[in-house]
Amino acid sequence: MSATDTEQGIPEKASKEENVTKSGGTGAPVFDPPPDGGLKAWLVAAGGACIFFCALGFSNSFGVFQEYYIHHQLKGQSDEKVAWIGSLQACLQFMAGIIGGPLFDRYGSIVIRLAAVCLVFGVMMTSLCKEYWEFMLAQGVLMGIAMGFVQFPAMAALTQYFMKKRGAAMGLTISGSSIGGVVFPLALSKMLNSTDLGYGWSVRIMGFVIIPVLSFAAAVVTPRLPPRKSSFFVPSAFLDPKFDILTVSVLLILIGMFSPLFYIPSYAVTTGMKATLASYLLAILNAASTFGRIIPGFLADKFGKLNMFAIGSLTTGVWSYSLATGFATGTIISGASAAFTLCIKNPQEGGAVLGMGMGVGSLAALIGPPVNGVLANKYGFGPVGWFSGALCVVGGFLVLSAKITTPKGLFGRV
């Protein structure tokens, strides 16, 4: 607010409306550009990283649960049946964004705080599970929905604070999932296989680790813009060919991406590797994905978000080692999220657009791991790699084709 306004006695409004909203010539709201930095913006990014540490990071450790369940809690169940627990969790984790994103656009950080409580409750309930249906409800349904309701608001908030540095900020934020994907598998594997704690207390300890991390995130991740009052969803997004192509490509790529996260430990055990050591492969994959999220994020701001997303998808389909695959898969979630931000027309609709795009892609989690489980049981792990890799390559070429719908064309830095 200017000094002249103050002298004339115009009362101050809430900070969001005072500094952000102005009246355009058409009466439509016009917003100041994102600050692209500053203490508040980077605190939001740090809080988002903490959310991804607890949500996607925990989800990325399901390979450890998969290997442990088939030999202990759910002994006698098939690989594909156990994989349905993680598949449902991963599916709902992204599908919940269809609702969680628009809710954040309308109600702000209260969505994150309520979902954080539900996530911790889900972890604690998982520690008490003994039957298959109990794992499905607690770890699959409750944790999956809660994860989606914390993750997508975090990404939506980030789009309100960053524009030119959005790829870098998105990469840094989502890299929290990679750190969680290192910490949780190593800690869980050690406690489950090398201590007398037992399953219940091993999982509960992870819940106690999550509590302070999510508390910090719930305090700092807040919206910059006033709440949106328009329709709950943004159906006009589906009229954008770029959005439609990205949605289909993400669906295909995620089908392929989930297979190493679910089956690397199990595959390693079948080759004679000890369970504890096998789970280290998952940690290696997630550690490498940390750099795969951060470095391409910075490069995306310079060379184009679609370009880096496509490169990451294609290389994921080709590479087959934990370290290389980890780096390549690191670009997928952060790259897809950054790519969808190109479809945001109104900054108040960031949550809805991200949630709708990634939500449709969530169906991949219901398809990929169970299908790969069937392939692994009937034909071995070779066809699992071929199937998953082929889908990532096809998805990568679709991302490249989305560039045709942009003004810069196929060879532009988009």
pLDDT at 388 over 80: yes
CA distance 224 to 222: 7
The whole-number pLDDT of residue 10 equals: 39
CATH 1.20.1250.20 describes domain 36-405: yes
Does 9 score more than 50 pLDDT? no
Q: What span, in angstroms and rounded, lies between the C-alpha atoms of 40 and 222?
A: 9
H-state helical runs in 96-136: 97-107, 110-126, 132-135
Q: What one-character DSSP code corresponds to residue 178?
A: H
User: At 286, is the pLDDT very low, low, confident or very high (cuts 50, 70, 90)?
Assistant: confident
**Residue in 24, 298, 333 with CA at minimum distance from that of residue 177:** 333
Q: What's the confidence (pLDDT) of residue 399?
A: 92
The pLDDT tens digits of the residues spanning 389-412 come to: 888 889 899 999 999 888 887 777
DSSP lists the bridge partners of residue 197 as none
Residue ranges with strand state E in 129-264: none
Q: What is the pLDDT of residue 323?
A: 57
Q: Judging by beta carbons within 10 Å of its beta carbon (0-12, 13-18, 19+), is residue 184 exposed, middle or buried?
A: buried
Minimum mean pLDDT range among 1-5, 149-153, 389-393: 1-5
Using the predicted structure, report yes or no on whether residue 321 has a pLDDT greater than 70. Answer: no
For the chain, give the number of residues: 414
CA-based Rg of the chain, rounded to a whole angstrom? 21
Give the pLDDT score at 53: 95
**Stretch 242-270: mean pLDDT, rounded?**
83
Residue 216 has pLDDT above 90, yes or no: yes
Name the residue among 159, 178, 181 with its Cα closest to residue 170.
Answer: 159
Share of the chain above pLDDT 90, in %: 32
Taking residues 25-51, report their average pLDDT. 83
Confidence at 6, pLDDT banded by 50, 70, 90? very low
Tell me the range of 7-21, 31-45, 113-127, 176-190 where mean pLDDT is highest.
113-127
173 neighbors 158 (Cβ within 8 angstroms):
yes
Position 1 scores a pLDDT of: 44
Confidence of residue 26 (pLDDT cuts 50, 70, 90): very low
DSSP-assigned states of every residue in 194-253: HSSSHHHHHHHHHHHHHHHHHHHHHHH---SSPPP-S-SS-GGGGG-HHHHHHHHHHHHH
Mean pLDDT of 161-179: 90
Q: How far apart are CA 58 and CA 15, in angstroms?
A: 36
pLDDT > 60? residue 145: yes
Q: Across residues 208-213, what is the average pLDDT?
A: 96
Fill in the DSSP letter of residue 238: G
Sign of the C-alpha dihedral, residues 191, 195, 200, 205?
negative
Other CB atoms within 10 A of residue 380 CB = 12
On the question of pLDDT at 307 being above 70, the answer is yes
Q: How far apart are CA 77 and CA 69, in angstroms?
A: 9
User: Contact, 259 vs 383, CB < 8 A?
Assistant: no
Residue 194 has pLDDT above 80, yes or no: yes
Greatest CA separation found in the chain? 79
Q: What confidence tier does 200 reach under pLDDT thresholds 50, 70, 90?
A: very high
Closest CA to 64 of 218, 191, 247, 154: 191
**What is the predicted pLDDT for the residue at 151?**
93
Which DSSP category does 142 fall into? I
Q: Mind listing the pLDDT tens digit for each residue in 64-107? A: 898 889 888 898 888 778 888 988 898 899 889 889 999 999 99
Predicted pLDDT of residue 347: 84
Least confident among 19-23, 60-64, 205-209:
19-23
Average pLDDT, the chain: 83
**Would residue 9 be called left, alpha or beta, if left means φ above 0 and alpha means ψ between -120 and 50 degrees?**
left
| 150 band by pLDDT with thresholds 50, 70 and 90 | very high
Q: Is the pLDDT of residue 143 over 80?
A: yes
Look up the pTM and report it: 0.81
